[in-house]
Amino acid sequence: MFQSFFQYLILQNNDMVLLIRQDGRIVDTNDTAASVYEYDRRALLTMNFKELCAPETTFDISEAIKESTGQTMKFKTVQSSKSGEVFPVEIIARSARIDDEDMLLCVIRALSKTEPDGENRSKDKKYEEIKEAYEEIKTAYTELAKTTYKSFNDISSLVLSKRKEEQARKRSELLSNIDYLTGTLKRRAFEKQLDAEINRARRGNLPLSVILTDIDFYKQINDTHGHQSGNEVLKKLAEFLMQQCRSYDFIGRYGGEEFIICLSGASPEDAFKKAEHLCIAVPKLEIPGMDNIEITASFGVSSLRAADGENINAILMRANQALAQAKSNGGNCARMSE
């Protein structure tokens, strides 16, 4: 049995450790992995590795087992936590014969994001990440272009170069789902993730709510203080919303000055209390360069009616209607959909 061997790895390694079957099912893991992926360890043992891969990222476990037979594989990819946060990782993997079954043993290290230095220090970090992804793509294509007929004898090198190109391209696509200014999900990416959460809520008969918020009199802010100040308001509100939400909630920029929050597992009552709390807290935000200016926002709340077979369009429509009611009442308030 592999338990004692794997337990040794857990005790000796501070990185994430996963033992995976050919079909992708996770056989064993450690507490570090559970903490980083934001799942209970027992929950991880019911999951497939592909559920931990970032959107648009694929990883063939069966193929990796074949390629790593007798040798160690080392590569970088992008993973996703329960809250939807994506992060780059380096995986060191090797096939292992355990209990008469070929499995893949992975030691996974989350990669830290390096800060720009010198004159680049003031640049937006996400811009730097996208630029880095582009450079990875360019490098990968350059390596492929250098491939000669003789090098085709080394299939592993060719496969590795191709994989680098694919991973860099997918990472760039992943970053393209993030709104450059606020760091929240773009509307299309948010709706894709919300649709998946709605399906999960239906299967588990779990509650789900959304909060749609809109900054009051935003055009007046832009006209009076300029677009740069308007951008600072958007960034500050987005930062505040992300700080106020739970680790497994996710936020998207729904429109120009509109943001939307998905509250998985939140009842209508809990979601409305959250919206009221946010409504009270927003005017207290301090915006750089806008002293003595109070910012307010309106909030519309709706909860999934799974029993009625409600889909994403219906729950979003009702959130919009609730927000419209809040606006018609003068703003700076929260309303629940009927």
- CA nearest to 82, candidates 33, 127, 22, 38: 38
Catalytic annotation, pick one of 257, 276, 294, 338? 257
Specify which residues 298 forms β-bridges with: 214
Confidence grade of residue 1 (pLDDT, cut at 50, 70, 90): very low
Phi, psi for 232 (deg, rounded to 5): -65, -35
Other Cβ atoms within 10 Å of 238 Cβ, number? 19
pLDDT tens digits for 226-259? 888 889 999 999 999 999 988 889 999 998 899 9
87-117 in b/e form (b: 16+ CB < 10 A) is ebbebebbbbebeeeebbbbbbbeeeeeeee
Strand ranges (E), 145-188: 185-186
Q: pTM of the predicted model, to two decimals?
A: 0.54
Please compute Rg for the chain using Cα positions: 23
- CA nearest to 281, candidates 226, 332, 229, 217: 332
Residues 284, 289, 290, 296, CA torsion sign: negative
The average pLDDT across 17-45 equals 88
CA–CA dist 262, 186 (Å, integer): 13
pLDDT score of 157 more than 60: no
CB 78 within 8 A of CB 88: yes
Q: How far apart are the first and last CA of the chain?
A: 57
Dihedral (Cα; 251, 255, 258, 264), 10-degree rounding = -30
Measured N-to-C along each axis, helices 187-204 and 312-328 cross at an angle, to the nearest 10 degrees, of 110
pLDDT at 143: 56
pLDDT tens digits for 69-126? 777 888 888 898 888 888 888 888 888 887 778 888 888 888 865 444 444 443 445 5
- Residue whose structure tokens are 């939307």: 260
Which pair of structure tokens corresponds to residue 22?
A: 């050919």
CB 217 within 8 A of CB 297: no
pLDDT score of 129 more than 70: no
pLDDT at 41: 85
The average pLDDT across 37-53 equals 89
Which pair of structure tokens corresponds to residue 130?
A: 């996208």
Task: Give residues with Cβ within 8 angstroms of 93, minimum separation 6.
Answer: 64, 68, 72, 73, 74, 104, 105, 106, 107
pLDDT tens digits for 5-19? 455 555 455 678 888
* 257 is annotated as an active-site residue: yes
Confidence grade of residue 152 (pLDDT, cut at 50, 70, 90): very low
pLDDT at 138: 55
The DSSP element (H or E) to which 164 belongs, if any, is helix 155-175
CA–CA dist 279, 322 (Å, integer): 14
The DSSP element (H or E) to which 16 belongs, if any, is strand 16-20
CB 59 within 8 A of CB 53: yes
